[in-house]
Chain A
Amino acid sequence: MKNIDSFTHTRGESIYLDDIPTTIGTLYGVVFGSPIAHGKIKSLVLTDAEASEGVVRIFTHLDIPGINQIGGIIPDEPLMAEDEVHFNGMPIAFVVATSTEAATLACKKIKVEIEPLPVITDPRVARANNSLIVPPRTFKIGDSKNAFQDCKYIFEGLAETNGQEHLYIETQGAYALPAENNAIKVYSSTQGPTAVQRHMADVLGIPMHRIEVDVTRLGGGFGGKEDQATSWAVFCGLATFLLKKPVKYALHRMEDMRMTGKRNPYSSDFKIGLDENLKIIAYEAIFHQNAGASADLSPAVLERTLFHTTNTYYVPNVTATAYSCRTNLPPNTAFRGFGGPQGMFVIEAAIAKAAESLGVAADVIQERNLLQTGNELPFGQIVQSEASPCWEKATSLYDVENMKMEIAAFNNTNSVYKKGLSFMPICFGISFTKTPMNQARALVHIYTDGSVNISTGAVEMGQGVNTKMIQVASTIFSIPASLIKLNTTNTYRIANTSPSAASATADLNGRAVEVACNALKERLVEVAADTLKCDKGDIEIKNEGVFVKGELSSMNWKALIMAGYLKRISLSEHGHYATPGLHFDMTKEKGHPFAYHVFGTAITTVTVDCIRGIYDIDSVKLVHDFGSSMNPLIDKGQIEGGLVQGIGWMTMEEIVFDADGRLRSNALSTYKVPDIYSVPKNIDLHFLETDNDNLAIFKSKAVGEPPLMYGIGTFFALRNAIKAFNPNSDVAFAAPMTPEKVLLGLYHSKNG
């Protein structure tokens, strides 16, 4: 089934935040952000700005009727700075004017005097200063310290990954409208409508039931609008609440890039020990997460790093410790993979280091250590593994032996171009690691004409979740998709939602739709049996009709629904789903946090131009564990898109902050994401259909985040190509592998 939005998307008729028709009297807001990264506010003079043409009012923290706090996990993030600023761009004031231009102009007239304090941008410096967001956490299995004594080979090193700008093409924004009795309706480009509702209630000092958050869709999210969409909505809500006027703020790209957090950069140390058969016996890692100025989602990101410390490998002795380090950068946040990729990069670096030191290909070590069903992960979960089936299918289907021979032959005969190959197997846990979040609700109405209307807590942001929701209802009711409409996501219809995140949105909300539809169907079967005077067990609702003992009756779907109405049966159902069997004990760091894991293997080949240091990605060949895909077109799109986003993170996407904490890569001209020429020439994808039971909706495994990590393979393929040109090159395990790093790597010499 095609994406249900493809009709309006291709015609430019889909409605995003900035497309909502504005009401007469709408005012426009712009945030005034701190010009420096750290300091004490000595004075704030608004007089000139307030006198600026078109300005209606300028809000500061003093105007907040409730509490000045929007921290999601930890209350450490004020909506607007009070005495101190902690990052460049930290909101200090919110200017509301009759136009965006007037508000922008007024911002330039605000005078703020800030006494500078030392700026920290390096997480290791922050750790040394004991500047941590939360106490460090350690996952442990076996006894790594003693196990190293039994290892034949031990390697240590450093691995670093930079941040990543989400670069949703639609910037952040919100539009708030006043409603009667001090209520507010806010349109928000958010992945987390409930987070917006809760924080707005706190800031305004009113109950959540007065705040209606409505989301039609996002022009991309990728985690960047999970927590970080909240502040813009709260700013608009605050101004609307106090002015009783509609207030809108759609951020300019440069404001968005400057003021919002990104993927957490990590700087990590690893130590890996192997036996003579290249089995990994022991692994230790210390992660320094650059959290930025406040917690945001970093503690949860940190946790997922620990959950994915060993990627898809079985290691009996592991000690992994993670520090969430407070720096003077915008608060870093969720980004597709949520700490998992940062953890997996480190063990892949450790394996690469071991392999090159031992003179074997990394894939020899990778393959020998793949997780098997029944293995225990460092946090105690016993894994149901598809790692080896994916790997084996990939090596045979794509004839890896031949690929390797062709690359060797190419490298022997070419001096200017060199090729490199890498394997990137992945294992990704599905569920929110915070167990209570694994719940969802869906509201299904059937109208008397037989048409169906569904509301869920899922936010459509391109991942196709609305299409999947319709598929669930369409399959259960056995009616065409054209009879079903998905509603906007709205906190008045569906309460207490979890954000659309953690790859779990289709699973959780799809299961809730399933629960609701099954309950409705059960009632309708009774109606049919009653009307047609037969046994319930003989009734089947399919193909828009009612079947009795396999024979189509005179009753069609529409007649059935009308019969139900006349019999005064509820044609509405609110379904609730909570993923069963999940638990995790943080005091022991053990449990069963994931509903299931997703596996896959990517084989990447690249060609490096050894004169210029530029490169092409020739192919990425994948075998991915889909369970049983309910929508191959959408799922394939997630794989390709996730892969390319991961490749971007590993290659050209380079976030640059200067020592003063000022973002230098602050626009699309200085921060580059993949364009159509830079993606792999070929992406081959094989769907590994697995029969094993899983908790996914219709056994169609979650697909949002896992493919991003295939992109890590590009880093190692490039590294291998560099080493084919210059075997002595000591290319650091530091992503992204920009053309600069490639060229310096190609011409690195131990003497130079």
Chain B
Amino acid sequence: MTQFILNNTEIKTTLSPGMTMLDFVRYNQHLTGTKIGCREGDCGACTMLIGTLTDGRMKYHAVTSCLMPIGNAHGKHVVTIEGINLKELTLVQESFAQFGATQCGFCTPGFIVSLTGYCLDEKSPSSEKAIDAVNGNICRCTGYKSIEKAAYTVSEKLASRQGVDAISFAVKNNIVPEYFLKIPEKIKLIQANPHIVSTNKKVGGGTDLYVQQHDTIANETIDFLLDQDYLKGITQVGNACEMGASTTVAEMSDDPILNLHFKNLQKYFKLVSSVPIRNMATVAGNFTNASPIGDLTIMFLALDAQLELSDDQQKRNIALRDFYKGYKQLDKNSNEIIEKIRFELPATSDFFNFEKVSKRTHLDIASVNSAILLQMNGDVIETAGLSAGGVGPIPKYLSRSSAFLKGKSVTEKIIMELIELVQEEISPISDARGTEQYKRLLLSQLIKAHFIGFFPLLKKDLLLSNGLIGQ
């Protein structure tokens, strides 16, 4: 039995918990305001809000409902465009109308839901955050400028929120209906489903499985891992960080420990999918998906992350660097799940960086991505971890290149030698994300970008001059 609140209605359903929330809402509940654009989380037309009761308060985040199984909604508040509507237009809707931010209207409910979610977020508002809130929504008509203006206008209104909690403010200011205030009481009445460990299919956030297996997954028997307490949380023990496997990208992005140790964390995560996907996608999902281009995988390869696997009988540890055996092949049997991820937090004297280039900078899969960790002893590299995606069948830890850097001082010459070595270590192929020639050149450039970022005194002209290109 899956139980949740849909808008202001209690839902108890015995439908297959693998069914997507999108299909449930449109074809079972006949609420058609939520639209279907792509069924792979890339357009945002199906955006809904998911409210979770945390410390007595509702916390809302946007999701693409095409990738969300209803099983992951148990005990939560699901909000569609219908659940936002008031008698007259809400503040967000009125802004869209006023600036002409809706043309054909098909993407519009998704944008309205995303921006309404932004209004329910306790974080202090800013124009930039308002735009980030709709970064998973694609509009083919407007060219976005009118949407920007509408978003800015909404965001300015939130500036007067000081001191008032976001939901009460939203209710008072015609952003959401009054029933939102009563949701916590209703949520409290829903019992958690017991956790069953089985040989069933495992689903975390579902953001990849529901793209790859959407025809079959809806009717499978599934263990839902996303909300298991024992798989959540980020803690620091000494210099080490321990992270539950079901930690979402959004939770990582908001985490104070990670933000303290990775000063450009926000910049990196902005390159990883979109807000609604980051709200669902888990770190272990990224690892087990085994995409040769997984962004988090590439970051954690450089960090030499260790995985704790469990089949509920036995636990074992394995380095992420040893986890990939071939294209989509893992050192993991089907009963095992990743439970924890452990890694050393970079020291202030260390350098860490993540680079990614894709056809479209945001909400796209990389042509090539790369991460690097340099642990320094003065001017000398003590240890190095360099990884790259999109350059072979597996997410690649560049072991020889990393070893090469050990004991070296950074000069233009060393970087060029490194790049030559990297070229020997990789085996990119031409595909929809770029030709082999491009991927080779691009990784060389991303390696230069790593070092130019760390060592501003490097001669950029020399590094970028034509003769030095490892083509």
Binding site for B on A (CB under 8 A): 2-3, 5-16, 18-19, 21, 101, 104-105, 167-171, 217-222, 250, 252-253, 415-416, 461-464, 610-614, 633-634, 636-637, 640-645, 652, 654, 656, 664-665, 667-670, 672-679, 683, 726, 738-740, 743-744, 747, 749, 752
Contacts and interface: CB of A to CB of B under 8 A. Distances in A.
Contacts of A217: 104-105
Given A644-B144, A683-B143, A743-B441, A675 B138 contact: yes
B445 interface: yes
Nearest to A252: B39
B367 A169 contact: no
Contacts of A104: 215
Interface in B80-101: 80-82, 85, 89, 92-94, 96-98, 100
B355 A674 contact: no
Contacts of B377: none
B193 interface: no
Contacts of B360: 652, 672, 674-675, 678
B194 to A, nearest CB: 30
Contact of A222 (B140, B142, B143): B140
Interface stretch (B222-230, B335-343, B446-454): B446-454
B445 A11 contact: no
Contact of B452 (A218, A611, A668, A738): A611
B132 to A, nearest CB: 9
A612 B357 contact: yes
Given A12-B82, A613-B357, A740-B367, A656 B104 contact: no
Contacts of A642: 143
A94 B80 CA distance: 34
Contacts of B80: 12
A347 B142 CA distance: 28
Contacts of B464: 415-416, 610-611
Contacts of B148: 676
27 contacts: A7-B97, A11-B93, A11-B109, A12-B33, A12-B34, A169-B35, A169-B138, A169-B140, A170-B37, A219-B35, A220-B141, A416-B460, A462-B104, A611-B464, A612-B445, A612-B446, A640-B143, A645-B143, A668-B43, A675-B362, A676-B147, A740-B359, A740-B434, A740-B435, A740-B438, A740-B442, A744-B437
Interface-centre pick from B26, B104, B363 (highest chain A CB count, 10 A): B104
B144 A679 contact: yes
Contacts of B215: 101, 104-105
B451 to A, nearest CB: 10
B364 interface: yes
A253 B38 contact: yes
B145 A726 contact: no
Nearest to B274: A675
B466 interface: yes
B279 interface: no
Contacts of A11: 33, 81, 85, 89, 93, 109
B106 A3 contact: no
Contacts of B461: 415
B354 to A, nearest CB: 13
B235 interface: no
A461 B104 contact: yes
Contact of A220 (B97, B104, B438): B104
The 4 closest A-B pairs by CB, nearest first: A12-B33, A462-B104, A219-B106, A9-B105
A3 B438 contact: no
A298 to B, nearest CB: 23
Interface residues of B, number: 84
A640 B434 contact: no
Contacts of B92: 10
Nearest to B148: A676
A285 B85 CA distance: 56
Interface in B352-393: 355, 357-365, 367
A17 to B, nearest CB: 10
A637 B35 contact: no
Given A613-B357, A678-B360, A644 B445 contact: no
Contacts of B460: 415-416
Contacts of A16: 35, 106
Contacts of A676: 131, 134-135, 137, 139, 144, 147-148
A11 B80 CA distance: 10
Interface in B114-166: 131, 134-135, 137-148
Contact of B141 (A253, A462, A614, A668): A462
Nearest to A738: B359
B211 interface: yes
Given A12-B34, A169-B140, A747-B466, A6 B96 contact: yes
B58 to A, nearest CB: 22
Interface-centre pick from B45, B135, B466 (highest chain A CB count, 10 A): B466
A463 B359 contact: no
Nearest to A634: B100
Nearest to B461: A415
Contact of B142 (A416, A637, A667): A637
A91 to B, nearest CB: 20
B367 A739 contact: yes
B357 A614 contact: yes
A739 B141 contact: no
B71 to A, nearest CB: 19
A461 B140 CA distance: 11
Contacts of B82: 12
A743 B142 contact: no
A740 B366 CA distance: 12
Nearest to B98: A2
A221 B466 CA distance: 45
Contacts of A3: 97, 100, 102-103
A170 B38 contact: no
A679 B143 contact: yes
Given A253-B38, A415-B464, A641-B141, A669 B365 contact: yes
Given A18-B32, A633-B100, A747-B469, A670 B131 contact: no
B378 to A, nearest CB: 27
A170 B441 contact: no
Interface in B451-471: 452, 460-461, 464, 466-467, 469, 471
B412 interface: no
Contacts of B237: none
Contacts of B365: 669
Given A10-B97, A640-B146, A740-B367, A752 B471 contact: yes
B106 A678 contact: no
Interface string B147-190: 11000000000000000000000000000000000000000000
